[in-house]
Structure 1
Amino acid sequence: MSFFGLSTWVLVAVLGGIVLGATVAGLLVGRSLSARSDRLREPVGVLQAALVGFMGLVLAFGLSLAVGRYESRRADVVAEANAIGTTYLRAQTLAEPVRSESLALLREYTRTSVAISGVVPGTPAHERTVAASAAYQDRLWALAGQALEAAPADSAPRLYVETLNEMFDAQADRVYGLTNRVPTAILVLEVAGAAVAMAVLALHLATLGQGVPTVLIASALVTVLLVVTFDLDRSTRGLIRVPPTPLVDVGTSMTGPPAATAPGPP
């Protein structure tokens, strides 16, 4: 089962249905066994304590993985924005006509980088956007080669080529980071562990004839925690997204006139 392929509200419904369904099942079984609660109280109590502890450990582990990947994706956006900004500044030191063509391409390249943040990885729209970005990269690299060929001894073209390569690498890191998600096996373990733990907890409380509202509230809280964990790993389609603000700001800074004028003839 691919949780990433589900829409946000379908994901909420699936997780809520699994956890709350297991809780209700535990309550029903517990009520049917309430007549033997004296004999079952101790073993079921030990079992539910162990399972609740296991559930807490698994949920914390899964949440830490999701948060780590989310923070890494935010850092990738900042790194790419910085690389684009540096490349744009260095492109201003190139000789014409490479200078003007490169600056125009860098503006389009930045718009494409922003668009990558709004498409879901693995979809046709994502593939088209990445392909368009790769086409801009090819054209920028070709122009950089022309700049080097025209002035092989100058430092400006060589510095530009260096940062251009870093810019390409930064986008590659970001694109691949979007597909670096928490393994499905861990997500399934989280859901299964939460469902079993809540079912046994509900069973234990039902055999005692108390705590029904409490276990339902606990199930809702566990569902919310699962949804947050899953949503952190869906940075382009969930409720918790990685904002492309640094890239948008860089693109905005390119709308004004270049800070440096074109170098004159030697």
Structure 2
Amino acid sequence: MLFFGLSTWVLALVLAAVMAASVALGLVVGRRLATRSVDLREPLGVLQGALIGFMGLILAFGLSLAVGRYENRRTDVVAEANAIGTTYLRAQTLAEPVRSQSLDLLRDYADESIRIADERPGSDAQRDAVDDSQELQRALWGLAGQALDAAPANVAPQLYIESLNEMFDAQAGRVAGLGNRVPSAVILLEVVGAALALAVLALHLATFGRGIATVSAAAALVTLLLVVTFDLDRPTRGLIRVPSTPLDAVAATMAEPPAVEAPQGP
């Protein structure tokens, strides 16, 4: 959707301009109808009350969806970081040379996971990062197969393969979550509904010859709520981002020497 391609400040200006134009239109029409205000005040009051209630409901619904997706993305980052950390620990129990090769690939894999977290969802840069990560997945899985083939009765390769599979699933879930936005229909309904409600509110107040300050404050509040809703749904851009801190912490621990030596014997 067009709105998601804009920077936060440009988005805020666009939404503010839309709301301001709606308010201005309502004020102009309301002043022109002022001569018939006695007949129009009651129906306009009922209409603006209904639209304000509708706008509040839609804004709350959209904000709730955005907050839910934001929290899910934060949870996905923690889940993947834990999966990578567990896989790295279990890789240390494998026999050489698979052990060293797997540890090196896992370090690269952690870096690619951070790269995915830093790129805009759906962009070419993120798709490249996902493709590179999938290449590492295939290499890691091939090494895991070698470890299991060399010691089919050994518990270590079996546990490693289990954690490796969970790590792959965790990244797939996180990538899907990054692209899971509030439906465009809901976003359009929020913007159009808010603009219409503000226009009717301004029109109603203008029939009394006042209300500019009140409707301007309402427009500012609505604009702020819309900007926050959009920002929550853009995990790698804007003022509200999904932090990659858990992945950074795991990558930092992987830069240190392994905690245990390579196993000796069969």
- Alignment TM class, shorter chain as reference: over 0.9
**In structure 2, C-alpha distance between the alignment counterparts of 1:3 and 1:180, rounded to whole Å:** 15
Aligned to 1:109: 109
**In structure 2, C-alpha distance between the alignment counterparts of 1:28 and 1:74, rounded to whole Å:** 46
How far apart are 1:238 and its partner, in Å? Answer: 2.3
Is 2:75 the partner of 1:75? yes
- For residues 201-223 of structure 1, the C-alpha deviation after alignment (integer angstroms, 9 at most, x for no partner) is 01111111122111101101100
Question: Per the alignment, in what secondary structure is the counterpart of residue 217 of structure 2?
Answer: helix
How far apart are 1:257 and its partner, in Å? Answer: 1.5
Write the letter of the residue equivalent to 2:218.
A
Is 2:162 the partner of 1:165? no
How far apart are 1:7 and its partner, in Å? Answer: 2.5
Is 2:78 the partner of 1:86? no
Root mean square deviation, CA, Å: 1.0
- For residues 145-177 of structure 1, the C-alpha deviation after alignment (integer angstroms, 9 at most, x for no partner) is 110011010000000000000000000000011
**In structure 2, C-alpha distance between the alignment counterparts of 1:187 and 1:36, rounded to whole Å:** 36
Write the letter of the residue equivalent to 1:263.
P
Question: Per the alignment, in what secondary structure is the counterpart of residue 11 of structure 2?
Answer: helix
Write the letter of the residue equivalent to 1:59.
L
Aligned to 1:243: 243
**In structure 2, C-alpha distance between the alignment counterparts of 1:122 and 1:116, rounded to whole Å:** 10
Aligned to 1:142: 142
Alignment of 1:219-234 (within 5 A): 219-234=219-234
**In structure 2, C-alpha distance between the alignment counterparts of 1:25 and 1:234, rounded to whole Å:** 31
**In structure 1, C-alpha distance between the alignment counterparts of 2:51 and 2:255, rounded to whole Å:** 58
How far apart are 1:185 and its partner, in Å? Answer: 0.7
Write the letter of the residue equivalent to 2:257.
P
Aligned to 1:98: 98
TM-score between the two structures when normalised by the length of structure 2: 0.98
- On the 8 A contact 1:11/1:227 being kept in 2, the answer is yes
How far apart are 1:9 and its partner, in Å? Answer: 2.3
Write the letter of the residue equivalent to 2:184.
T
Unaligned runs of 5+ in 2: none
How far apart are 1:53 and its partner, in Å? Answer: 0.2
How far apart are 1:58 and its partner, in Å? Answer: 0.3
How far apart are 1:236 and its partner, in Å? Answer: 1.4
Aligned to 1:259: 259
% of aligned pairs identical?
67
The 10-residue stretch of structure 1 (11-20 or 215-224) with the greater mean CA deviation from structure 2: 11-20
How far apart are 1:10 and its partner, in Å? Answer: 2.4
The 10-residue stretch of structure 1 (105-114 or 116-125) with the greater mean CA deviation from structure 2: 116-125
Write the letter of the residue equivalent to 1:113.
S
- On the 8 A contact 1:2/1:184 being kept in 2, the answer is no
- On the 8 A contact 1:30/1:203 being kept in 2, the answer is yes
How far apart are 1:38 and its partner, in Å? Answer: 1.3
Question: Per the alignment, in what secondary structure is the counterpart of residue 260 of structure 1?
Answer: coil
How far apart are 1:226 and its partner, in Å? Answer: 0.4
**In structure 1, C-alpha distance between the alignment counterparts of 2:256 and 2:147, rounded to whole Å:** 24
**In structure 2, C-alpha distance between the alignment counterparts of 1:257 and 1:117, rounded to whole Å:** 25
Question: Per the alignment, in what secondary structure is the counterpart of residue 118 of structure 2?
Answer: coil
**In structure 2, C-alpha distance between the alignment counterparts of 1:153 and 1:117, rounded to whole Å:** 38
Write the letter of the residue equivalent to 1:13.
L
Question: Per the alignment, in what secondary structure is the counterpart of residue 111 of structure 1?
Answer: helix
**In structure 1, C-alpha distance between the alignment counterparts of 2:31 and 2:22, rounded to whole Å:** 14
- For residues 33-88 of structure 1, the C-alpha deviation after alignment (integer angstroms, 9 at most, x for no partner) is 11221111111011000000000000000001111111111100000000000000
Is 2:9 the partner of 1:24? no
TM-score between the two structures when normalised by the length of structure 1: 0.98
**In structure 2, C-alpha distance between the alignment counterparts of 1:174 and 1:237, rounded to whole Å:** 16
Question: Per the alignment, in what secondary structure is the counterpart of residue 117 of structure 1?
Answer: helix
The 10-residue stretch of structure 1 (148-157 or 118-127) with the greater mean CA deviation from structure 2: 118-127
